[in-house]
Amino acid sequence: MASDRTSSLRFDRIFGEHYEPVSRYCHRRLPPDDANDATAEVFVVAWKKIEDVPRGDDELPWLYGVARNEVRRMRRSSR
């Protein structure tokens, strides 16, 4: 298991590199307020599951998968 410091540094890098594309993904699919909430939730999940986030080129697709699930959840709850 990675140290808290290593996990924190990794999360900071993931957030910095991938916030914009994840945010754009959510904003294309949801109203602005919901998209902001969905984007935030994606990174909450990433933080909680930092050990499960794949490394390298697979990080962003993993985040998109979390975003897709969050968009679906938000659409269901707004019905």
Region 4-77: CATH code:
1.10.1740.10
Please state the domain extents for the chain: 4-77
pTM of the model: 0.92
First-to-final CA distance of the chain: 41
In 10 A of CB 78, how many CB atoms? 9
Q: Over its length of 79 residues, how does the chain's per-residue pLDDT go in tens digits? A: 568 999 999 999 999 999 999 999 999 999 999 999 999 999 999 999 999 999 999 999 999 999 999 999 999 987 7
